[in-house]
Amino acid sequence: MTNAVIIPARYESTRFPGKPLAEISGKPMIERVVNSAKGAKLADKIIVATEDERIFNFVKNNLKVEACITSKDHKCGTDRICEVVQKYSDIKYIVNLQGDEPLMPSDYIDKVISLLTSQAEMTSLITPVTDLNDLTNPNIVKVVMDKDNFALYFSRSQIPFNRDNRKDIKYFRHIGIYGYSREAILQFGLLPSSPLEITEQLEQLRALENGIQIKLAVVPKSYPAVDSPEDVKIVEKVLL
């Protein structure tokens, strides 16, 4: 039984071509993401999944982890990960660690794995909303959950809607790291895009619409990812 952290790293990003190899305070971003994965105590294997030889060669020659060339036709990182899982029969649990998350704490990765091995077929993380402006920001994904911390819904809109202006409502934002059992991610990879997923442009809604439960754990805070070249400076300020 192997716990694998798989890092999808796509070179041909529309908003930021070559993003995984962009330097952040003197190190390529993919190196910082891999280092976060190396710090996870529960990770047995780390694999970078990429469509590009430049990323593949950098990882193989410099980072001492596995790398896998995947199809250029994948529409999302999860599809890329599914291809990798099919090639490795020993992988039982998978963490999808995005290649643009250079600040993801290693203990967050361990938390995702620990939930998988004991409680759920798919897992993720959330954190309390501390800035109320995030509630109306469509780039911040909000989430509501049941009493057992299983996700009920994810949305770019404010959820729940506070009809009576109560002061005791707790809001949570989603952190884009996922854990899957082998069976769950291979099942997910076979499913067509779902109506709610298409409406909100949130891939995790495909799982909920098809009866795959997502167990959530609360962590203290979120960290900025790199979506555009401008985000590099934001991340570098956090690293100072």
Domain locations along the chain: 2-239
Low-confidence ranges of the chain (pLDDT < 70): none
pLDDT at 180: 97
Can you tell me whether residue 192 is helix, strand or coil? Answer: coil
Name beta bridge partners: 181: 93
Q: Write down the number of H helices and E strands in the chain.
A: 8, 11
Give dist(CA 7, CA 67) in Å, integer: 9
**Residues 6+ positions from 14 with CB-CB distance below 8 Å:** none
pLDDT at 143: 98
pLDDT at 13: 81
Give dist(CA 95, CA 7) in Å, integer: 8
CATH topology of domain 2-239: Spore Coat Polysaccharide Biosynthesis Protein SpsA; Chain A (3.90.550)
Give dist(CA 239, CA 230) in Å, integer: 15
User: What is the DSSP-derived secondary structure letter of residue 188?
Assistant: H
**Strand (E) or helix (H) holding 4:** strand 2-8
Among 79, 85, 108, residue whose Cα is nearest residue 177: 108
Q: Where are the beta strands (DSSP E) in 51-160?
A: 66-69, 91-96, 122-128, 142-145, 151-155
Q: What is the pLDDT of residues 102-160, one digit of tens each?
A: 999 999 999 999 999 777 899 999 999 999 999 999 999 999 999 999 999 999 999 99
Among 51, 145, 37, 54, residue whose Cα is nearest residue 96: 37
pLDDT at 117: 78
Amino acid identity of residue 209, one-letter, is E
CB 12 within 8 A of CB 51: yes
pLDDT at 74: 79
